[in-house]
Structure 1
Amino acid sequence: MTATPTSLRERKKAKTRAAIREHAMRLFEEQGYASTTVDQIAEAAEVSPSTFFRYFPAKEDVILIDDYDPMLVEAIRAMPPEVPPIEAVRRALRDVFYNLAPEVWESERRRQRLFSEVPELRMRAMNQMAQALDLIAEMIAERSGLPVGDIRVRAMSGAIGGVVLALLPPGRITGRSSLGPADFEQLIEGLDLLQKGLPLAQ
């Protein structure tokens, strides 16, 4: 799910981007990630290699780049200011992932399967978590009124990132005929436990 493009130019760009990604995914599945070239993807999508690189900086970015971070940021920023940071993240996850269309879930299932099959993609995705932590820290700083470099902000963003990595690392959700909102319930529950101070007693 992405924000609906408002202009004809934006709609055309979104359509081209989606076509490139779809053909890339198909080729990765048919002939393997390593055996697929940018030229092959561009030819299948009926675009030039230079057009491919305008949308995706490298071949791996077809899989690594998703549309969820901007949506989550928008959802978090839309929360009332009195909502605590972790609760804002939990609500944003529900708002975003409970409203994705079935075809988007199918695309995400295919993407997760590629993460599980291609170690270098999985490692790159794990490395991207550092960037995600910066994004989380910015959101927490905005909501708390603290500097983004404050130790409390950094610790909380790291804790949230740790819950994500522990419960939903790239490539974990694989081999299923379906993928949907229920798969994120454990993550939301984990963030709830974090908000409560991670009690271990039953």
Structure 2
Amino acid sequence: MPTGGKRNMGLRERKKAKSMAEVQRHALRLFREQGYKSTTVEQIAEAAEISYSTFFRYFSSKEDVLTRDNYDPLLVSAFEAQPSELSPLQALKNAMMSEVLDMSEDELATMRERNQLVIAIPELWSAMMNSMTQMMQLIAEMVAGRVGRQPNDLAVRTFAGAVIGVNISVMLHYAEHPEEDFAAVLDEALSKLEDGLPL
């Protein structure tokens, strides 16, 4: 695909991600005001000024509003754009950091509040773990393509699982320490993985 096509695809994906983040922002406000269980999809759609059917173009359920990562397609594009001489971990770290550094303060605040709610509600934590498993598979597929192996290769899966472990630890840390710089925390955690997890 020509470079311009990739850039346009990235812009479309980013616009969609920002639209989804806006719906999440309204949903979080309603969850704060009236509780997660008492809030309906209809109320979220109305607050976000979208139709009921448009909500389901973005999210499969109310639960999905909190557990879905809007930025996966952008991560794939950023990973594929990394120079071939980088190691898989360096390429993935660069891709992840580029997406985080491009997030606005409002997007970061929404992500932090989502994480805090997910941690507090057991059924959402279970759904988040399912989402993380899907993310692990996505990372395995991305890395397998880069190194010429299969996604179900044990080494590839272990690599993907380690990265997901870092993501979970960062998610928990940021929910507990909202005053910290999320990009700096993620960078430090990925650097520890890159250095072999020294303690």
Of Structure 1 and Structure 2, the greater helix share is in: 2
User: What CA deviation, in whole Å up to 9, does each residue of 1:22-72 have, x standing for no partner?
Assistant: 321110111111111112222323333233223211011111122222222
1:5 match: secondary structure = helix
* Map of 2:55 onto structure 1: 52
Give the aligned residue type for 1:5: R
1:20 match: secondary structure = helix
TM-superposed CA distance for 1:191, in Å, is 2.2
How many residues end up aligned between the 2 structures? 191
Taking structure 2 as the reference length, the TM-score comes to 0.80
Correspondence 1:146 to 2:146: no
2:126 and 2:69 map into 1 onto residues whose CA distance is 16
User: What CA deviation, in whole Å up to 9, does each residue of 1:51-96 have, x standing for no partner?
Assistant: 3223211011111122222222111111111211112112222222
Contact 1:115 1:122 in 2 (8 A): yes
* Map of 1:183 onto structure 2: 185
Map of 1:106-121 to 2, 5 A cutoff?
Answer: 106-121=109-124
User: What CA deviation, in whole Å up to 9, does each residue of 1:123-179 have, x standing for no partner?
Assistant: 2111222111111111111111112222322222223223333x2245852463565
1:171 and 1:34 map into 2 onto residues whose CA distance is 26
* Map of 2:6 onto structure 1: none
Taking structure 1 as the reference length, the TM-score comes to 0.79
2:86 match: secondary structure = coil
Identity of aligned residues (%): 41
User: How big is the alpha-carbon RMSD for the aligned residues of Structure 1 and Structure 2?
Assistant: 2.8
Mean CA deviation greater in 104-113 or 183-192: 183-192
Listed as ranges, the gaps of 5+ residues in structure 2 are 1-8
Contact 1:64 1:125 in 2 (8 A): yes
* Map of 2:160 onto structure 1: 157
Correspondence 1:4 to 2:11: yes
Map of 1:191-202 to 2, 5 A cutoff?
Answer: 191-194=193-196, 198-199=197-198
1:32 to 35, 46, 52: 35
1:129 to 120, 127, 132: 132
Listed as ranges, the gaps of 5+ residues in structure 1 are none
